[in-house]
Copies of this chain bind each other. A is one copy, B any other.
Amino acid sequence: VPQRSRRLTAAPLDQRAVRRHNLALVLGRLVADGASSRATLAAETGLNKTTVSSLVADLIHWGLVVESDVLNPGSVGRPATAVKVNGEGVVGIGLEINIDYLAVIAVDLLGRQRERVLVAVDNRGRSPARVLSHLTRLATGVLDGVLGQGLVPVGATLAVPGLVDVGRGELMVSPNLGWTRTRLASMLRKRLAAYDLAVLVDNEANLAALAELWSGTGQRVANFLYVSGEVGIGAGVVLNGELLRGAHGFAGELGHVTVDPDGALCTCGSRGCLEAYVGLEALLRSAALAFTEGPGTVTQDDWIPALLERAESDARVAAGLFEVGRWLGIAVAGVANVVDPQAVVLGGFFAPLAEWLRESMCVELSQRWLPAPFTGIEVVASPLGPDAAVRGAAMLSVREILADPATLDTLIEVS
Residues of B within 8 A of A369 (CB): 256
Binary interface profile of A, 256-279, with partner B (CB < 8 Å = 1, else 0)?
Answer: 111111000000111101000000
Known: A172-B371, A246-B223. A261 touches B330 (CB 8 A): yes
Residues of B within 8 A of A339 (CB): 237, 244, 246, 251, 338-339
Complex Cα distance, B250 from A371, in Å, reads 7
Residues of B within 8 A of A261 (CB): 259-260, 330
The answer on a CB contact under 8 Å between B333 and A173 is no
Whether A15 sits at the interface, judged by CB under 8 Å, is no
Complex Cα distance, B235 from A244, in Å, reads 18
Whether A252 sits at the interface, judged by CB under 8 Å, is yes
Known: A253-B338, A269-B367, A367-B269. A173 touches B247 (CB 8 A): no
**Residue among A239, A246, A252, A330 having the largest count of chain B Cβ atoms under 10 Å:** A246
The answer on a CB contact under 8 Å between B244 and A337 is no
Q: Which of A204-257 contact B (CB under 8 A)?
A: 222-223, 235, 237, 239, 244-254, 256-257
Nearest B residue (CB) for A259:
B261
Binary interface profile of A, 113-146, with partner B (CB < 8 Å = 1, else 0)?
Answer: 0000000000000000000000000000000000
Whether A373 sits at the interface, judged by CB under 8 Å, is yes
Smallest CB separation, A255 vs chain B (Å) = 8
The answer on a CB contact under 8 Å between A338 and B235 is yes
The answer on a CB contact under 8 Å between A338 and B258 is no
Give 27 pairs: A residue, B residue, CB < 8 Å, sorted on A: A163-B374, A173-B373, A175-B370, A223-B246, A237-B338, A239-B239, A244-B339, A245-B340, A246-B340, A247-B340, A248-B342, A248-B375, A249-B340, A251-B339, A253-B337, A257-B333, A257-B337, A258-B259, A258-B334, A260-B260, A261-B330, A269-B367, A270-B367, A273-B368, A331-B334, A338-B338, A338-B339
